[in-house]
Amino acid sequence: MSSAPHLTDFPSCGQATHLRLTHQVAKVGSWSLDTGTGRLHWSPELCALLEVGSNYLPSLEEGLAFFLPSGRRRVRSALDRCLNEGIPFDVDAPARTARGNRIRLRTLGESVRPPGAAAAHIHGICQNVTSLHRMREALRIQEERFRLLASATNDAIWDWNLETDDVWWNDGVETLFGYRQEEVGTEMARWMAMIHPDDRAEVRASLTEAFKSRSTTWAGEHRFRRADGRWAWVLVRAQLVRNESGRVIRVVGGMTDLTSHHELEQQLARSRNLESLGRLAGGIAHDFNNALASILGSIELLLLDPPTDPQARADLEQVRQSARRGARLTGQLLALARRQVLRPERLVLNHLVEDGISTARPMLPRDIRLKFRPGGGMPPIVADARQLEAVLHQLLVNSAEAMPDGGTILVETMVEEPVKPDGMPLVVLRVRDHGVGMDDTTLERAFDPFFTTKSEPGAGLGLAAVHGTIIQSGGTVDVESTPGVGSTFTVRLPTEHTEPPMAEGVR
């Protein structure tokens, strides 16, 4: 704490005049308190600050009255400690001049006992810090406003000082990307290191071009690494602050997470591609199915009076089997295109699953075990039993193929309560395996037609047909998978409540 000058130390003559001018420029006035008389002695500069006559000699209480109540208590308390304990003080408090003008006074004081004096005096100075206080208050408001805006936005805000190469981040960098402040660092090189290697050169070039131009803004999209190692698509928008010579000295910007937007765009593009492919496949399958029906009809007629030559009869049987495989393929194509002729009926999912598991067992390897865990109180659904059983078969076959060394496939059914209060419950069919699982790339394309990780010809339509059938039935199908852990397919179908649910024992 600075020591207040003693009135006894003030120089005289020219030096005193110089000191008074200095006090006037600095808006400083001196004062002293005679503890014996309780009177204050103010310098002419202090009298001018408080807009009173230069010969004004107030009492302590009259002097304290210039301070507003909140400040008056603090100044009085500081004076008491200084007088009783000898503790110097420095108090910033609001005051009002004799003419009613509001000012801010910084008051400093210390206790001095002159030689031969019976009691200590207090000497000090007062400085008008109104302008400084206003600037500080304006800065505080601006900082608070910036802090509130930075916390209210969903963006990660950053401020890059090119003079020091320091970078400040708001809490958005943790909210959006999972980084703590100490992890993201304060150097711009750390930010650059978090940009995807394939995007880094383009970002540098774009930023350099913006610096060289006279532009005051910069924007771009790139991939940014999250704390967990995944990549996020971000939109960066920034303001470039230049000095008088036009050189960029500061960049303030924000990063918006566009990952969900990019994923939606990709899903929309994939959906459009699948829709186009489905329409094409559906048209071809319809015509092909008609041709196959004619072939199969002719073969059945020929087999009513089979040829006597065993080889000719075997060839005819092989043609029939090939035609039937073609018919199944066209059925999958029609399911993909959602152009199957569905024959919905009211049924209980548990009964259908029990029958489906029985008919699926011969289709699966012997080292595959099936476990069924039926849910209770299952409401009825309206669906095509034949197509729904085909969906179950395909999911079981898919799970069995994911467990080449054998294992257990768990089939579960349950009721899922509606998310909305006025919504209808859903019936859930879940098929879980402990197979090889799928990585993110495979998982993303699991329901794409003709996509497969197997090498067999004609593969790649099974899950696409499952997706088409369930969507055409008014439901949804999702998959979760972890490499080395297994996959879980979940089918959700709407329930039908026009009549009470059928009892589980009624077949």
* Final residue belonging to a domain, choices 199, 229, 257: 257
Same-domain pairing of 231 and 331 = no
**What gap in Å lies between CA 443 and CA 451, rounded to an integer?**
11
- Highest mean pLDDT among 22-26, 188-192, 237-241, 325-329 belongs to 237-241
Same-domain pairing of 181 and 321 = no
User: Is pLDDT of 429 > 90?
Assistant: yes
How many domains does the structure of the chain reveal?
A: 4
How are strands ordered across the β-sheet holding 407-416? Answer: 368-373, 407-416, 426-432, 486-494, 476-482
Burial readout 437-476 (b: 16 or more C-beta within 10 A, e: otherwise): bbeeeebebbbbbeebeeeeeeebbbbbbbbbbbebbebe
Pick the more confident residue, 268 or 6: 268
Same-domain pairing of 296 and 354 = no
Mean pLDDT lowest among 4-8, 288-292, 315-319, 387-391: 4-8
Say what the pTM is: 0.44
Listed residue (119, 134, 104, 152) closest to 32, CA to CA: 119
Same-domain pairing of 267 and 244 = no
Same-domain pairing of 253 and 269 = no
Q: Phi, psi at residue 343, to the nearest 5°?
A: -120, 80
The answer as to whether 356 is a domain residue is yes
**What gap in Å lies between CA 502 and CA 506, rounded to an integer?**
7
Residues 6+ apart with CB under 8 A from 384: 340, 342, 343, 344, 345, 473
For the residues 162-185, what does the mean pLDDT come to?
83
Same-domain pairing of 166 and 270 = no
Same-domain pairing of 479 and 350 = yes
Mean pLDDT lowest among 57-71, 85-99, 189-203, 323-337: 323-337
* Final residue belonging to a domain, choices 206, 229, 257: 257
Rounded percentage of the chain residues whose pLDDT exceeds 70 = 78
Same-domain pairing of 312 and 241 = no
Give the residue numbers spanning the domain of 301. 263-336
CATH of the domain at 43: 3.30.450.20
CB 227 within 8 A of CB 183: yes
The answer as to whether 245 is a domain residue is yes
Measured between its terminal Cα atoms, the distance across the chain in Å is 93
Can you read off the two tokens belonging to residue 500?
């009470």
Same-domain pairing of 327 and 454 = no
- Highest mean pLDDT among 3-7, 103-107, 326-330 belongs to 103-107
Same-domain pairing of 269 and 252 = no
Same-domain pairing of 363 and 486 = yes
Pick the more confident residue, 349 or 307: 349
Same-domain pairing of 221 and 110 = no
User: Is pLDDT of 344 > 70?
Assistant: yes
* Final residue belonging to a domain, choices 232, 257, 282: 257
